[in-house]
Amino acid sequence: MSMINYASREINCKLVYYGPGLGGKTTNLEHVYQKVAPTARGKMISLATETERTLFFDFLPVDLGTIRGFKVKFHLYTVPGQVYYNASRKLILKGVDGVVFVADSQIERTEANIEAMQNLYDNMVQHGYDLTRIPFVIQYNKRDLPNAAPIAELQAALNPGWPVEDPQKQRVTPDPFRPGEYLVQQQEGQWIERSPYFEAVAMTGEGVFDTLKAVSKLVVKTLG
């Protein structure tokens, strides 16, 4: 998980962008990289495969402040979308502090989204992580396309929620990012919790920083 560098007074946190091939993970990182001040970011490293790239860079946000005198530095990674690069996916998830799942909103990509989400859960379990207990945000990308599935359908397929067993968490919890919606609520007598989600058009940058800020704040909350 997060690494503390006492020499530079930094807490290093790892964010991984996961999802199906060509869903917009790389586009998200490229947009963030272009918008972050050069003085606050490291070099972007690209590991190319035949069909996709794994990207990595770190940056120091200026608006998150410090935690006990330490600055928080985020290291952003993408994983290859193709299933046959699963060993790489698994390796990149090691030591993760927060996950963004970038779903492709196109109706014909529904199965690919579900397969990638299941793969994420499986790989997290193999590392001993519980995806329901770490900062996790879903981004529904490509919302501008005419064949984009309704949000309700995407939520049902990818973010149906998980049972809340802890009595202290069994209370209606508003979604801080979406007025009128809830992250925790009762459904047919069962308390259910869902992950925060965002709509995006990564090609234009719409929703990219909303997604990043949300997962960053959730990670910082775990450090406090």
Q: For 112-158, what is each residue's pLDDT tens digit?
A: 999 999 999 999 999 999 999 999 999 999 999 999 999 999 999 99
| Domains in the chain: ranges and CATH | 3-159+195-223 (3.40.50.300), 161-194 (no CATH)
Compute the distance between CA of residue 58 and CA of residue 11 in angstroms, rounded to an integer.
12
Q: What is the pTM of this model?
A: 0.94
Q: Please check the confidence at residue 50 and state whether its pLDDT lies above 70.
A: no
Q: Which two tokens mark 87?
A: 């060993």
Count Cα neighbours of 202 within 13 Å in the Cβ-side half-sphere: 24
pLDDT of residue 151: 97
Q: Which residues have CB under 8 Å from 165's CB, separation 6+?
A: none
Give me the pLDDT at residue 203, please: 97
Q: Phi, psi at residue 167, to the nearest 5°?
A: -55, -30
Phi, psi (degrees; rounded to nearest 5) at 130: -110, 110
